[in-house]
Amino acid sequence: MSEAAISVHNLYRFFGPLQAVNGVSFEIPHGSVCGFVGANGAGKTTTMRILASLDYPTMGHAEICGINVIHHPAEVRRLIGWMPDHFGNYDNMTVLEYMDFYARALGYKGAERRQRIDEVMEFTDLVPLADRFSNKLSKGMTQRLCLGRSLLHDPQVLIMDEPAAGLDPKARVELKHLIRVLAKEGKTIFISSHILSELGEMCDSLLFINNGRIVHHGDAESLKKSTDLLGGVLYDVQLDGDPQALSDWAVLQPNIEFLESRKTGGRIRIDTEDPNKAADVLSRMIRDNLRVIDFHREQRNLEDAFIDILANLERDANFVPAPPPLPPQSEQLPQEPRFDP
């Protein structure tokens, strides 16, 4: 078995002229939570659908726990739980009947089935909703129901496409809590979202995808501590005394930019991430009689980091050699959905 829970190598997926997934490669180790970030149409859902064996790549291969999703979709399906970005519920079916149906469909029988349903309903807090019709639930309840369904067969890997989309803050907190618990149980979770701050809190690593290509794969902390587009870092400075003194001082300093004034100080930007330079700046402040009571490096928010990565790519596009030639586009492989959306 491969060491990685999810392994993707040179994955391509074309829909006619659209290159939805364009040579994607990455690995996600067992028991980790990985956030998948990208703009709408970046290729997130297509990649996830291929991993869930619901779509077929034009080229390349993908494995779940060492099993090829293309050649052994049935085995892969036993290992994964899938939460799609949008889905409907059945008419005339209660929550309990819904869970019962999926438990049967997953091969559970008799007492084992009832026990598994009870466990999952308790975990996802669905017990009070057992007799409610599944198509009459709120969005948050529906997401919990969907999560419960995807957990019925106790999958090793959970693939969740935008599970927090459209949820109110309370439901979002509940979902985040459930994901944290699942992560603690050792499940590998591959989750996409537009809300980067939440992903940052939950995920061990983040994958950024843009125009079908992976543009970053690393942990959230390193992103938060990264420099901005021009290599600078931000510091928050608090003074005991007139905050205006900070801006007056900063104007006269080389390599320092005053960004904004705050109640008791302000934000400055130092054009290098070298900690020695930061120490120099602090010592100069003290030498120049600024009464500094707090001086710390600000963590960047992930949205800014993501936008900077994209801007960097755009800027570097003229300098990097052209990407390797694309494989010829197949006319025979599926290039459009078989169903009307």
Partner 1 sequence: MLVKELRQGLRTRSFIAVFLTLQIILGIILLSAGALATSDYAGQKISNVIFIFFSIAVLVIQPMRGIAALSSEIKGNTIDMLVLTRLSAWRVVTGKWAAIVSQSALILVTIIPYLILRYFFGGMNLVGEIMLLLLIFVTSATITAITVGLSASASAILRSILPMIALPIGAMTLLGMIFDGGNSNIAEFCALDTKESRIFVPCYLAACAYVGFFFLSTGTSLIAPYAENHSTLRRLIALALTCIAAVLCSFSFTDPMAIPFVFGLIFAPVFAISLSEFAPLVSPVFQKFSRYGPFGKLAGIFLFPGWPSGVFFCLLLSCVSVIPFVLNQRPTYGSDEPVIFALCFLGTLLFPAVIINLFKMKGAHRVSNYVLFGVASFIVAMLLMGLVETMSNKDFMWLFIWIPPVLLFMQAGSGFDDGDVFVAAIVIDALLIGILLVLAMREYSFSIREVKKSIASVE
Binding site for partner 1 (CB under 8 A): 10, 49, 52-54, 56, 58-61, 68, 70-71, 73, 77-78, 80, 82, 84, 86-93, 97, 101-102, 104-107, 149, 327-328, 330-340
Residues 183 and 201: beta-carbon distance below 8 Å: no
Please tell me the distance from the alpha carbon of residue 336 to that of residue 328, in angstroms, as a whole number: 17
Minimum distance of partner 1 from residue 82's CB (angstroms): 5
Dihedral pair phi/psi, residue 21, rounded to 5°: -125, 130
Alpha-carbon span 97 to 107, nearest angstrom: 15
Q: Alpha-carbon distance 224 to 301, whole Å?
A: 6
Nearer to partner 1, 260 or 340 (CB): 340
| Nearest to partner 1 of 126, 206 (CB atom) | 126
Helix or strand or coil: residue 87?
Answer: coil
* Secondary structure class of 195 (helix, strand, coil): coil
Minimum CB distance to partner 1, residue 133 (Å): 10
Angle between helix 95-105 and helix 110-123 axes, rounded to 10 deg: 130
Which residue, 116 or 216, has its beta carbon nearer to partner 1?
Answer: 116
State the amino acid at position 74 in one-letter form.
A
Residue in the structure block whose two tokens are 């996600």: 28
CB closer to partner 1, 83 vs 250: 83
Walk across the sheet containing 18-29 and list its strands: 18-29, 4-15, 59-64, 67-68
CB closer to partner 1, 35 vs 81: 81
Nearest distance from residue 148's CB to partner 1, in Å? 12
SS3 237: strand
C-alpha 175/C-alpha 190 separation (Å) is: 14
Rounded to whole angstroms, how far apart are CA atoms 333 and 154? Answer: 33
Q: Least distance to partner 1 from the beta carbon of 150, Å? A: 8
What is the smallest separation between the CB atom of 93 and partner 1, expressed in angstroms?
6
Between 144 and 216, CB nearer to partner 1: 144
Supply the minimum distance, in Å, between the C-beta of residue 260 and partner 1: 45
Contact (CB, 8 A) for 215 and 309: yes
- Of 57 and 265, which has the nearer Cβ to partner 1? 57
In the complex, the smallest distance separating the C-beta of residue 12 from partner 1, rounded to whole angstroms, is 9
**CB 330 to partner 1: min, Å:** 5
Q: Which is nearer to partner 1, 120 or 220 (CB)?
A: 120
User: 99: part of which helix (H) or strand (E)?
Assistant: helix 95-105
